Amino acid sequence: MRLFPRLLLSHLLVIALVVAGIFISAELFAPRFYRAHVEEMVHAMGPTGATLRGDLERGMRLTLTRALWAALPLAALVAMGTAYVSSRRVLRSVQVLRERSMALAKGEYHQRLEETGQDELADLAHNFNVLAAALESVEQGRVELIGNVAHELRAPLAALRGYADALTDEVMTPGHASQAIGREVGAMERLVRDLSLVSRVEAGQVELHPGVVDVNAVLDALRERFELAFEEKGVQLGCSTDQRMSVWADRERVMQVLTNVLGNALRHTPPGGEVQLDVDRHQELLRLTVTDTGPGIAPEQLPRIFDRFYRADPARARVDGGSGVGLTIARGLAEAMHGTLTARSAPGQGTAVTLTLPVGPA
């Protein structure tokens, strides 16, 4: 049986039970209420009233029964109309939900339900809209990811095709071509490796080996790693910490996060600029802040810099050094270590990215 007949029959069954209860209650309890009135009438009529007591009671009981039966058709009509309207309302909501959910299952993630009222149907509509919005966001991210990966791979593949043609036409020596091909293959390998890490980080499957990490040793390693790159570009790298500090984290992952942040700061800082790495403690948290003197980021772009493949300046070529997922990886690793990675910036005032990590075990 379909939903509407079931709903209507259930309402009618409830109505029938209520009517039966009213009749039974009236037959059982009404005499208690009209007997007092009968006694008053018998007392007022005198000696003849005693002989009429039975007739009076039967008359009042019959009158009550007839009144109930007379009111029954109108009450039943009103009750059936109310049951029909209520059943149709529920059925209409369920039908709309069924149609929209079927469309959602077919990939039409723009489907939404109207949220009216304060009942469970309104809650169901709200939850459906939240689910549809989440699926739409996931689908949009999937489409953007495929497009971005295709875009990132298009350039190295085109270069490889060019080098292959150059070798075929003998306009490039094999040695020169092999070096160029190696660079392009390395770029694609880095992209694939970064994408694999992004997927593991977002799925919460990244492997961590937490322990006590000496922050000063990490800073020394970072200075050694970036010293030559900063000198070649003419950018000054400064680190400030006045005491020995430690955090509870994975040392290699901390290095990876700060390497991504410092590398990003170096790419966006012009020659003659400065990148500063400051360390300070706030209660049970340690904050490592990388500040650069680059062009800064517009307020409307700042919330998106941790998104995959997002570039504040779309004109920047991939040869600039970034795969577009470095900050995404960095934020995911920071959160996996029970920390945070945040940024603040303003146009013309540089950018500051802060890594916050717990001092002790989480």
Confidence of residue 49 (pLDDT cuts 50, 70, 90): low
Predicted pLDDT at 124: 84
Same domain, 247 and 304: yes
> Who has greater pLDDT, 28 or 233?
233
Q: What is the number of structural domains in the chain?
A: 3
Predicted pLDDT at 122: 81
Same domain, 8 and 85: yes
> Who has greater pLDDT, 350 or 95?
350
What domain range is 77 assigned to?
Answer: 3-108
pLDDT in tens, 103-161: 888 888 888 888 877 777 788 888 888 988 888 887 877 777 777 777 777 878 888 88
> Who has greater pLDDT, 64 or 230?
230
Q: Could you give the percent of the chain with pLDDT greater than 70?
A: 86
Neighbouring CB atoms inside 10 A of 317's CB total: 8
**Region of poorest pLDDT, from 241-245, 317-321, 330-334:** 317-321
Same domain, 132 and 25: no
pLDDT higher than 80, residue 32: no
Same domain, 134 and 235: no
Q: Which amino acid is at 355?
A: L
> Who has greater pLDDT, 59 or 37?
59
115 lies in some domain: no
Residues sharing a CB contact under 8 Å with residue 64, sequence separation 6 or more, in sequence order: 26, 30, 34
Residue 225 maps to which CATH number?
Answer: 3.30.565.10
**Region of poorest pLDDT, from 40-54, 89-103, 189-203, 215-229:** 40-54
Rounded Cα distance between 272 and 234, Å, is: 6
Confidence of residue 334 (pLDDT cuts 50, 70, 90): very high
CA dihedral of residues 165, 167, 173, 175 (deg, nearest 10): 100
> Which residue shows structure tokens 């020596």?
173
Same domain, 165 and 233: no
Confidence of residue 244 (pLDDT cuts 50, 70, 90): confident
Residues sharing a CB contact under 8 Å with residue 23, sequence separation 6 or more, in sequence order: 68
Rounded Cα distance between 109 and 62, Å, is: 65
Same domain, 296 and 239: yes
> Who has greater pLDDT, 320 or 30?
30
Confidence of residue 50 (pLDDT cuts 50, 70, 90): low
114 lies in some domain: no
pLDDT higher than 50, residue 317: no
116 lies in some domain: no
350 lies in some domain: yes
256 lies in some domain: yes
Predicted pLDDT at 318: 47
- Residues shown for the chain: 362
> Who has greater pLDDT, 51 or 253?
253
Predicted pLDDT at 352: 94
Same domain, 338 and 235: yes
Same domain, 239 and 193: no
Select from 202, 223, 246 the last residue of a domain: 202
pLDDT in tens, 60-90: 778 777 777 887 788 788 878 887 777 777 7
